[in-house]
């Protein structure tokens, strides 16, 4: 049936005009790049079949082929026409059987019979999806494709959807839900594709989608100074508490450090030559901080020159050790567990840029920031669960939730109805 609908779409719909509507009027070059992604093509096809009011695909298909459709096909088309895209969080997963979802707009729980997605999502994930009546009476299924979000990415999307729903209900309560049915897929697609483009842009610039422990996007940067008096500057670096000489035999190399509880955290590397002082760090934010510290430290002995991004492919890597002994899995887990325990013991009191310089503990007390903090913690939980599924070490963030005084149990199903 879906194949027949796709053929009908490609024969009867202005594809490029529809793609422009779907992509929100992006430039042609951006449109072509995005449409190369299989999941975007699947999402567009689902949108034009179900949600595009201009195309009216289901109504036209039904009229044209009414005499040829079987009762089962007519039932499927009716169910498809009744679907609504909504945004859900995954509450629980029964592998190969079902997903327990919570509608993030109406806070209602639903259990869907599902096999494929149970291998791909974990509790705490956010998905935008349409639900459809299942083949077995009384069951509900996911209508693919499913659009994935992190909790952090979903937060502004949900804020916009809730704001739009309030406005539509004020202006025309009778038509609000139908107008929202059309608007939600457009908002979902806009937010999702914006993030796909941002990720592609980071990759094109050689950047990682990962973040530093400060919460900043990883983006290699170099900070350079012109050196006027190398010997005097070397003495200042050796005397500075936040710069540690790497090796007695290498007087040019230093590590930039900052206090982290009872230990010190590495922020970057600094190299001093006869004519240049150069620091390399993992983010633009750290580069700005390093510039400030080195400016104060160097004084008249060096002059700031530039901050510039670095292509990670040009960064020298240490050679892989030959025949290095393999660390047993239980020892790896012990080492990682001790590291994460130390790190997250102080993390609630570390200033983070994503909270405007406030700490997670302070963010937990601010109504405007608490949802973002909860979203971050849920994403951390989900990442840990993925590591566990892959057979790796998975840190339990329960102590962090407890330390911040946040209720984690709201992600548990209110009642699980087995399909």
**Which of the two residues, 264 and 113, has the higher pLDDT score?**
113
- Quote the pLDDT of residue 211: 66
Residue 417 predicted with pLDDT over 50: no
Q: How far apart are CA 111 and CA 94, in angstroms?
A: 10
**Which of the two residues, 235 and 196, has the higher pLDDT score?**
235
- Quote the pLDDT of residue 102: 92
For the domain made up of 221-310, give the CATH fold. Answer: Alpha-Beta Plaits (3.30.70)
What is the CB-side half-sphere exposure of residue 106 using CA atoms within 13 A? 8
- Quote the pLDDT of residue 158: 92
Q: How far apart are CA 313 and CA 302, in angstroms?
A: 29
Q: How far apart are CA 370 and CA 361, in angstroms?
A: 10
Output the six-digit token pair for 169: 């209900």
Q: What percent of the chain has pLDDT over 90?
A: 24
Which residues does 215 contact at the CB level (< 8 Å), separation at least 6? Answer: 352, 353, 354
Of the listed ranges 178-192, 281-295, 328-342, the one predicted with least confidence? 328-342
- Quote the pLDDT of residue 386: 83
**What is the pTM (predicted TM-score) of this model?**
0.66
In CATH terms, are 85-206 and 221-310 the same topology?
no
Q: How far apart are CA 110 and CA 95, in angstroms?
A: 16
pLDDT band for position 416 (50/70/90)?
very low
Is there a contact between 184 and 86 (Cβ–Cβ < 8 Å)?
Answer: yes
Question: What average pLDDT does the segment 388-409 reach?
Answer: 85
Task: Name the residue ranges covered by the structural domains of the chain.
Answer: 1-82, 85-206, 221-310, 329-411
User: If you ran DSSP here, which 8-state letter would residue 326 be given?
Assistant: P
Ramachandran angles phi, psi of 204, nearest 5°: -65, -30
- Taking every pair of C-alpha atoms in the chain, what is the biggest distance, in angstroms? 91
Is there a contact between 42 and 53 (Cβ–Cβ < 8 Å)?
Answer: no
**Choices 2.40.160, 1.10.287, 2.40.50, 1.10.10: CATH for 85-206:** 2.40.50
Output the six-digit token pair for 304: 């700031």
pLDDT band for position 362 (50/70/90)?
very high
Is there a contact between 154 and 87 (Cβ–Cβ < 8 Å)?
Answer: yes
Exposure of 145 by Cβ count < 10 A (0-12 exposed, 13-18 middle, 19+ buried)? buried
Question: What average pLDDT does the segment 92-114 reach?
Answer: 90
Q: Which residue has the tokens 């608490």?
A: 370
Q: How far apart are CA 137 and CA 5, in angstroms?
A: 24
Query: Over the stretch 29-86, which tens digit does the pLDDT of each residue have?
Result: 676 777 777 888 888 899 999 988 888 889 898 888 888 888 888 888 888 888 889 9
Residue 24 predicted with pLDDT over 50: yes
- Quote the pLDDT of residue 20: 84
pLDDT band for position 400 (50/70/90)?
very high
- Quote the pLDDT of residue 415: 47
- Quote the pLDDT of residue 137: 80
Within 10 angstroms of residue 225's Cβ, the number of other Cβ atoms is: 24
Which of 68-77, 84-93, 245-254, 348-357 has maximum average pLDDT? Answer: 84-93
Q: Check whether the bond before 193 is cis (ω within 30° of 0).
A: no
Task: Identify which of 276, 168, 269 has the alpha carbon closest to the alpha carbon of residue 227.
Answer: 276
């Amino acid at each position: 049936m879906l194949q027949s609908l796709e053929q009908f779409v490609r024969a009867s719909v202005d594809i490029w005009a529809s793609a422009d509507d779907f992509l929100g009027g992006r430039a042609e070059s951006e449109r072509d790049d995005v449409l190369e992604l299989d999941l975007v093509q699947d999402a567009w096809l689902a949108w034009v079949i179900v949600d595009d009011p201009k195309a009216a695909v289901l109504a036209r298909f039904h009229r044209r082929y009414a005499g040829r459709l079987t009762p089962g096909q007519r039932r499927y088309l009716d169910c498809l026409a009744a679907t609504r895209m909504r945004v859900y969080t995954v509450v629980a997963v029964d592998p190969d059987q079902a997903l327990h979802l919570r509608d993030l707009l109406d806070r209602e729980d639903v259990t869907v019979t599902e096999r494929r997605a149970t291998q791909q999502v974990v509790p705490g994930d956010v998905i935008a999806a349409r639900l459809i009546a299942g083949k077995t009476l009384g069951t509900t299924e996911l209508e693919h494709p499913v659009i994935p979000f992190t909790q952090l990415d979903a937060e502004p999307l949900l804020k916009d959807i809730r704001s739009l729903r309030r406005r539509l209900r004020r202006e025309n309560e009778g038509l609000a839900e139908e107008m929202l049915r059309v608007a939600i897929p457009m908002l979902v697609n806009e937010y999702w594709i914006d993030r796909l483009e941002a990720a592609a842009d980071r990759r094109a610039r050689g950047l990682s989608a990962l973040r530093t422990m400060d919460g900043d996007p990883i983006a290699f940067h170099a900070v350079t100074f012109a050196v006027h008096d190398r010997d005097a500057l070397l003495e200042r670096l050796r005397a500075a508490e936040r710069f540690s000489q790497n090796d007695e035999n290498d007087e040019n190399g230093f590590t930039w450090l900052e206090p982290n509880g009872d230990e010190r955290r590495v922020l970057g590397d600094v190299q001093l030559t006869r004519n240049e002082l150069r620091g390399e760090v993992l983010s633009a934010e750290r580069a700005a901080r390093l510039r400030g510290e080195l400016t104060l430290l160097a004084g008249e002995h060096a002059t700031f020159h530039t901050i510039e991004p670095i292509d990670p492919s040009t960064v020298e890597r240490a050679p892989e050790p030959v025949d290095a002994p393999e660390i047993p899995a239980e020892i790896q887990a012990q080492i990682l567990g001790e590291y994460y325990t130390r790190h997250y013991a102080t993390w609630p009191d570390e200033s983070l840029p994503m909270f405007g310089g406030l700490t997670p503990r302070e963010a937990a007390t601010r109504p405007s920031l608490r949802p973002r903090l909860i979203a971050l913690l849920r994403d951390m939980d989900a990442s840990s669960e993925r590591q566990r599924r892959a057979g790796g070490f998975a840190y339990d963030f329960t102590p962090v939730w407890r330390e911040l005084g946040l209720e984690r149990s709201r992600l548990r199903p209110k009642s699980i109805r087995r399909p």
